Amino acid sequence: MSEINDTPPQPEVPASAQTGAVEQSGDVSADAEVSVPEAMETELGPNVTVVEHDGSTIYIVGTAHISEKSVQEVRDTIEAVRPDSVCVELCEMRYQALKDEDRWKKLDVFQVLKEKKVLFVLANLALSAYQRKLGEKLGVKPGSELVEAIAVAEEIDAELVLVDRDIQATLKRTWANLSLWNKLSVLGGLLEGVGSDEELTEEQIESLKEKDNISEMMEAFAQEMPQVKTPLIDERDLYLMSSIEAAPGKVKVAVVGAGHVAGMLKHQREDVDLEALAEIPAPSNVLKLLKWVIPTLVLAAFYIGWQKHSGDKLEELVLAWLLPNSVMAALLSMLGGAKPLSVVTAFIASPITSLNPTIGAGMVVGLVEAWLRKPTVQDAENLSGDFTSIRGAYKNPFSRVLIVAILATLGSALGAWIGAGLVLSYL
């Protein structure tokens, strides 16, 4: 990723111009004021930032994805400016998802389990559910401002440009940066937000768009989860700004989340390899080797123990490995509300799968649970609504399968570490 430069000095803007911060670029003098048509001065909202780039003018509208005022500000800005192109913080997949409200119907639980995407899908569900829950409280569907931008672009015959990185690349690059424990931490935080009854008022939502509040939030986020912030925020700031600058037309309106604006402004006029930013990194050879550490240690310990104790301790070594694996996987599967046969499967499969990194206990248990519960298309369709509460997530057969699978995985991992420690203690 390109190096982040310091934000250039902000020119002073006349008080009469109701705009956000204005950035200089190209051949514009640092002491000059960016010209905003007089007729527009009172029509641009407080969350609009005006940027000059290579002879074109870009109006960046910083929004909250569940704000009714953002929806109106997007419409007002586009109608006032009449841009050649409207850039929205969407990729092709998210654009199609906004248009296709039945997308959850197409989710195949068996495919999710086989492709080892359980954590990935659960995190996606939890985030969508959290946004939906907040939106329902305020009477606004998440992403309404993006839908409005698309509609107004069509009304004025402006070119619509999707400027965000592919969502799969973003999530997979983020996921690749996290350890299993960090993945569970992120998922736990999202689930906590879903299950929380804390009320968020419209005034609080609007305050989140204020530049000082956003800066504080981003700084706290960077300190708390730096592994997430880089691919989820920083790389996308770079991708968004470069894509917007490359969009056609002399006048452009860009509709993006307010949290991206400050970072985007730091990346003006940077040469960016968008293809490199969109690549999904392959697992490193080190990570591939680490998956075999426990199996190798355990098998080596069995051999050494057999040689050292002339076979007398073999039964104890076997039990030291089997019991923690089996018990932990079965217990956590039960915690997830697994069917009795799935619990038995976890008990039997965990000690075996822990010695074979190519297949996980969670996948085996999840497949059995899915076969028993037989989630329907209707269950998949209800996912986004049911996942807005912990009770709903457990009630829905589709999400119950995913919860059982991830808890079986966690139980098996914990059991493997405990078992490996006990086996090594006999040496």
- 270 and 239 in one domain? yes
Establish if 408 belongs to a structural domain. yes
Lowest mean pLDDT among 138-152, 208-222, 372-386: 208-222
**Which structure tokens are listed for 333?**
């599967």
Lowest mean pLDDT among 34-38, 268-272, 358-362: 34-38
- 278 and 326 in one domain? no
**Burial (Cβ within 10 Å: 0-12, 13-18, ≥19) of residue 172:** middle
- 296 and 271 in one domain? no
Q: pLDDT tens across 310-343, in order? A: 656 777 888 888 999 999 999 999 999 999 999 9
In degrees, rounded to 5, the angle at the alpha carbon of residue 177 between the alpha carbons of residues 361 and 134 is: 85
Establish if 14 belongs to a structural domain. no
- Looking at the structure of the chain, the number of domains it has is 2
Domain boundaries, position 172: 22-282
- 355 and 333 in one domain? yes
In this predicted model, which residue has the larger pLDDT, 297 or 139? 297
Q: pLDDT tens across 409-426, in order? A: 999 989 988 988 888 877
Which of 230, 262, 282 is where one domain is finished? 282
**Which structure tokens are listed for 392?**
């709903």
- 98 and 228 in one domain? yes
Q: pLDDT tens across 12-25, in order? A: 333 333 333 333 33
- 369 and 407 in one domain? yes
Q: pLDDT tens across 85-96, in order? A: 999 999 988 888
Asked whether residue 206 carries a pLDDT value surpassing 90, the answer given is: no
Q: Is the dihedral of CA 145, 150, 156, 158 positive or negative?
A: positive
Tell me the percentage of the chain whose pLDDT exceeds 90.
Answer: 32
Output the CA–CA distances (angstroms, integers) from residue 108 to 115, 144, 243, in the order listed.
Answer: 11, 27, 33
Asked whether residue 196 carries a pLDDT value surpassing 80, the answer given is: no
**Mean pLDDT, rounded, of the chain:** 77
